[in-house]
């Protein structure tokens, strides 16, 4: 029978994805067959599955840590926000419906059954499943509709770790308050807590550990330092909020519904743009978006459209990826109301292409080539058809492509952007992550979790 470990958090962005990937690689190195699982994820960063469809990018990253391809059952329910109150709902890799938040919760039991169905398939194939929760495990207003946190852990019999982020402050209140809000049956599942993103001399927190262990009556797995040298694919735009502003001549438009911003993670420092700047940039990216027409309207309200045209006229290279590529064309038609009620919208007229949005989503890994013929691997996730046949649409000072991940390849970035991108050995990075876990975990607590 498969064993399961659940990684929950006191809040969003406390490091659950890191710990999940770290345990995945550690178990793999111990000779276990291990897979990641997140019953429900909300993210516009996604990745194609081996059997078709898509899952959250963080679960695809965790699959890499297990040396596995992305599989639909690893993230059976994926919410891709299209507005402040609505999302596309992807079930087991395939688009199921577009729902408002209140409508979504009317389907909780159906979605929970789908999640358990996917978990059962994984459990039949792997000896260990490392499960990641979502947000906080103590959202009392959502407890009756929970399909991804401790209700899931109860159902599958998983022991749990509670992760808190000390960098943001309030670590004592977040851990004690979270545990206090849990019902007894769920509190009993939590076998250890972890304090993440510590800066400085960790011995200064020894009294804090003693207080928390006494108050919570569970052991501390460890106090884990902030590790800037390890970089993993992020699942949501909170990572952009944490990005430091640096002196750079590369700008990226931060759309309200930005998707797959991991496209820029190897390019060095970038400046996220929400309004015009007085300076001149060398490269400006229009990234992917979950709602192309609505974000194009936002671009115009922010007066970024004319600013981008002026930047281009002054010599900036303008690069559009996926939805950003669609915006660079002449027009975007949405006859079926796939993304908005606008019907159509004129583009920026920087590329001689036209796009029609369709209900059927393209999700696939692509073996592509650059204009010079250099092969590379990328992926597509989009709902539009654009009348251009090659992987890149090129004009003077303009590049458009549907290929996510293209510019993560240093050779592609050098040829097309004249940027020296970082070369990242992801497999070695996962080993460093497992080493980080081993170096800072208390061995007796770690071994108790894995027995």
- Looking at the annotation, which residues are catalytic? 322, 404
User: Please, are residues 70 and 57 in contact by the beta-carbon 8 Å criterion?
Assistant: no
Q: What is the phi/psi pair of residue 12, to 5°?
A: -70, 150
Alpha helices, H only, 66-182: 101-105, 108-123, 150-156, 171-181
CA pair distance 273, 289, nearest whole angstrom: 14
Q: What is the phi/psi pair of residue 332, to 5°?
A: -120, 120
Residue indicated by tokens 């981008």: 308
> In a 3-state reduction of DSSP, which class is residue 313?
helix
206-216 vs 171-181: helix crossing angle, rounded to 10: 10
Closest of 405, 15, 4, 66 to residue 235, by C-alpha: 15
CA pair distance 444, 223, nearest whole angstrom: 14
User: Please, are residues 115 and 130 in contact by the beta-carbon 8 Å criterion?
Assistant: no
Cross-strand partners of 88: 80, 98
Instruction: Count CB atoms within 10 A of the CB of residue 247.
Output: 6
User: Please, are residues 397 and 312 in contact by the beta-carbon 8 Å criterion?
Assistant: yes
User: Please, are residues 213 and 445 in contact by the beta-carbon 8 Å criterion?
Assistant: no
CA pair distance 363, 107, nearest whole angstrom: 25
Burial of 112 (0-12, 13-18, 19+ CB in 10 A): buried
Residue indicated by tokens 């792997």: 126
304-313 vs 292-301: helix crossing angle, rounded to 10: 80
Chain centroid offset of residue 297 CA: 25
Instruction: Count CB atoms within 10 A of the CB of residue 108.
Output: 15
Q: What sign does the dihedral 27-29-34-35 (CA atoms) show?
A: positive
CA pair distance 86, 102, nearest whole angstrom: 9
Region class of 131: left (phi > 0), else alpha (psi between -120 and 50), else beta: beta
């Amino acid at each position: 029978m498969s064993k399961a470990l659940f990684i929950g958090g006191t809040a969003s962005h406390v490091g659950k994805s890191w710990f999940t990937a770290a345990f995945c690689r550690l178990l793999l190195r111990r000779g276990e067959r291990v897979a990641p699982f997140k019953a429900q994820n909300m993210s516009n960063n996604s990745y194609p599955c081996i059997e078709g469809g898509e899952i959250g990018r963080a679960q695809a990253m965790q699959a890499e840590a297990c040396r596995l391809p992305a599989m639909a059952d690893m993230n059976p329910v994926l919410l891709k926000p299209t507005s402040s109150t609505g999302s596309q709902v992807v079930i087991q890799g395939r688009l199921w419906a577009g729902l408002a938040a209140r409508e979504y919760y009317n389907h909780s039991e159906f979605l929970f059954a789908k999640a358990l169905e996917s978990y059962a398939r994984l459990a039949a194939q792997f000896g260990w499943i490392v499960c990641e929760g979502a947000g906080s495990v103590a959202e009392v207003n959502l407890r009756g509709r929970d399909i991804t946190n401790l209700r899931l852990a109860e159902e599958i019999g998983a022991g749990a770790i509670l992760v808190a982020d000390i960098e943001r402050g309030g670590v004592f209140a977040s851990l004690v308050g979270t545990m206090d809000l849990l019902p007894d049956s769920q509190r009993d599942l939590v076998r250890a807590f972890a304090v993440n993103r510590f800066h400085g001399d960790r011995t200064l927190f020894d009294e804090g550990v003693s207080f928390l262990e006494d108050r919570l009556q569970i052991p501390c797995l460890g106090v884990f330092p902030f590790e800037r040298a390890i970089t993993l694919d992020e699942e949501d735009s909170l990572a952009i909020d944490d990005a430091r502003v640096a002196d750079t001549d590369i700008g990226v438009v931060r759309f309200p519904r930005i998707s797959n911003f991991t496209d820029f993670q190897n390019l060095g420092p970038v400046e996220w743009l929400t309004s015009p700047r007085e300076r001149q940039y060398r490269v400006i990216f229009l990234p992917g978006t979950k709602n192309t027409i609505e974000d194009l309207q936002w671009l115009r309200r922010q007066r970024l459209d004319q600013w981008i045209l002026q930047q281009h006229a002054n010599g900036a290279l303008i690069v559009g990826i996926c939805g950003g590529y669609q915006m660079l064309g002449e027009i975007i038609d949405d006859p079926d109301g796939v993304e908005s009620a606008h019907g159509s919208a004129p583009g920026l007229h920087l590329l001689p292409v036209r796009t029609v949005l369709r209900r059927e989503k393209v999700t696939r890994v692509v073996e592509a080539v650059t204009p010079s013929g250099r092969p590379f691997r990328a992926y597509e996730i989009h709902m539009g058809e654009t009348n251009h046949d090659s992987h890149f649409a090129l004009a003077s000072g303009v590049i458009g492509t549907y290929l996510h991940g293209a510019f993560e390849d240093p050779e592609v970035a050098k040829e097309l952007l004249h940027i020296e991108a970082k070369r990242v050995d992801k497999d070695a990075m996962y080993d460093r992550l497992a080493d980080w876990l081993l170096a800072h975990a208390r061995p007796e607590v770690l071994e108790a979790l894995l027995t």
